[in-house]
Amino acid sequence: MIRSPQIVEVGPRDGLQNEPKLVATGDKVRLITRMIEAGVRRLEVGSFVNPKRVPRMADTPEVVAALPDRSDVSYIGLCLNEKGVVRAAQSRAGNRRGVDEAGCVTVASDAFGQANQAQTFMDSVTENRRMLALARREGLLPQVTIAVAFGCPFEHVVSPARVVEIAERLAEAEPVEIAVADTIGVATPGEVRDLIGRLREALPGTIRLRAHFHDTRGMGIANVWTAWQAGADVLDASLGGLGGCPFAPGATGNVATEDVLYLFERSGASTGIDLQRAIEVSRWFAGVIEKPLPSRVGRAGRFPAT
C-alpha cells in the first residue's frame, strides 16, 4: 500500500503575506473554514511578526480568534523570534482556541539572515533552539522550518552539508517536525532527493520531516513527488499556487494545493482532502482577490471529470 502524505495548507499565511490586494479578515477565515470542510487538517493561519514588516499579516490575532474550534484540526502560527512565540501562546489565553503549533523559522544562509534579521545562520539556530524550548513550555507544539535550504537570493548556493548540520543542531531541541523550504524556488528533483535522503538518515525517526516548495522555475510538483519518495512525511501546499516571500526578492507562489492533491490522487495515495472541493474553493478565492490563480488543476479541473 502506498503511504499517505500529510498536506499542510499554507495559503492563509505564506500564500497571502505578499499579495498586493489586502484580503479582509472575514475572507481569510472563510478560506480556512472552507479548506477544513474540504478535509485539510493542518493549516498555517497567520504570522506573529512585526506588522510593519509583514502588513498583510497584521490581523493574525483577529483571524485566530475567529477560527473554527475543531479538535481534529491543528493551527500553525509563524514565529520569527521569541516575542512571536509569546504572542502565539497568548492567542490561547482565557480559554480561547488559539493556535496549536509554533512554526519557528531559521535560515541556512548568513546573507539571508543578515539581510532580514541581522543574524548569521548559527545565530538564528541558537535563537530557534530557545524558541522551540519556549514553545514547549507554553504548551505549543514546537516545529521549525529551515528557510533557503536549497538556495539563497544573496548567497546563491547553499551546501546540503550545512542544512544537515543545522537540522542536527535543531533536533537537539526536540522539535516534533523539521521542514526544509525552497524559499526562492531553485531546487531540482536530484537536489531534493539528495537532501531529503541525508536528512532522513541524520534525524531521529521521532522527528517528522516536512518539505516546502515554491514553483518559481516550474519544478514545484516534481520536487513534491521526489521529496515524498525520498522520505518526507509532510508536504506544504498553497491553495491556487498563492505565495511569495516578502524577504526574498523574486520569490513567487508555492506549489498549488490542487496540483498536489491531483498528483497523489492519480498516483493512488490518499491525502484525506477532497480534490473537487479544493478546486471549488480555489475558484471562489480567485474571485475574492480578483485575479486568476496559477494552479494548473484549478483551471483545468480533475480527470476524469465528475
pLDDT of residue 233: 93
Handedness of CA 22, 25, 30, 36 (dihedral sign): positive
Q: How far apart are the first and last CA of the chain?
A: 25
- Between β-strands 74-79 and 42-48, what pairing exists: parallel, antiparallel or unpaired? parallel
Mean pLDDT in residue range 67-88 = 97
3-state secondary structure of 215: coil
How far is the C-alpha of 28 from the C-alpha of 60, rounded, in Å?
10
Cβ atoms of 261 and 296 closer than 8 Å: no
Q: What is the pLDDT of residues 211-250, one digit of tens each?
A: 999 999 999 999 999 999 999 999 999 999 998 665 556 5
Q: Is residue 222 part of a domain?
A: yes
Q: Is residue 10 part of a domain?
A: yes
Q: Is residue 306 part of a domain?
A: no
pLDDT of residue 250: 59
CATH number of the domain encompassing residue 291 = 3.20.20.70
Domain that holds residue 163: 6-300
Count of domains in the chain?
1
Q: Is residue 1 part of a domain?
A: no
Q: Is residue 305 part of a domain?
A: no
How far is the C-alpha of 40 from the C-alpha of 36, rounded, in Å?
5
pTM for the model stands at: 0.95
Q: Is residue 176 part of a domain?
A: yes
Q: Is residue 23 part of a domain?
A: yes
- Between β-strands 208-213 and 42-48, what pairing exists: parallel, antiparallel or unpaired? unpaired
244 Cα distance to chain centroid: 11
Cβ atoms of 241 and 293 closer than 8 Å: yes
Active site residues: 245
